[in-house]
Amino acid sequence: MKNIVLFGKPGAGKGTQASVLKEKFELVHISTGDVFRYNISNQTELGTLAKSYMDKGELVPDSVTINMLADEVDRSIAEAKGYIFDGFPRTTAQAEALDTLLSEKGMQVNATIALEADEDELTARLLERGKTSGRTDDTDETKIRTRFAEYNAKTAPLIEFYEKQNKLHSVNGIGEIDQITERIASIIASL
């Protein structure tokens, strides 16, 4: 089983690449955003709990997010050849929790792929995406830069966490989608 964590700054192409790679390697794509939307729209116990935090403008505790991910893994584990985690983990504490979750199921993160890209390039991408995505946080450069600052403060430490495990692979996230996919696919194929 190949379990991949895909991370990078907003606009780096995580969702795009995850969609292509899940087909290419027959992986189950677990997007934290999709998992949240599913649980909230289906009014699951965890979705209702998460929504209660979100409605107050608070961050959803890691324990709630991990429990949602655990449910998602449990739902698909019988037929899964592996997972690609998109949007999770975002902090070292979440990475440790993911390691524990996978370990309990006899699995591990095999590789972490960091999509690297210049913030000015990403800002242009997000502003362009904002014209059609309906996401208001993609239409305001100040909000985009704030998201980058949050990423740098909270998510960038994952680089060191996964480097210590010899699981980090940095990939140039600039170029044609097919080129970037090939860069990532060569890493996954070598696992």
**Interval 27-31 mean pLDDT:** 94
pLDDT above 90 for 178: yes
Q: Which fold has domain 2-189?
A: Rossmann fold (3.40.50)
pLDDT tier at 176 (50, 70, 90 boundaries)? Answer: very high
- Confirm if 27 and 4 have CB atoms less than 8 A apart: yes
Spell out the domain ranges in the chain: 2-189
DSSP string of the chain, one letter each residue: -EEEEEEESTTSSHHHHHHHHHHHHTPEEEEHHHHHHHHHHTT-HHHHHHHHHHHTTPPPPHHHHHHHHHHHHHHHTTT-SEEEEES---SHHHHHHHHHHHHHTT----EEEEEE--HHHHHHHHHHHHHHH--GGGS-HHHHHHHHHHIIIIITHHHHHHHHTT-EEEEE--S-HHHHHHHHHHHHHT-
pLDDT tier at 87 (50, 70, 90 boundaries)? Answer: confident
Average pLDDT of the chain, as a whole number: 92
pLDDT tier at 127 (50, 70, 90 boundaries)? Answer: very high
What pLDDT does residue 57 have? Answer: 78
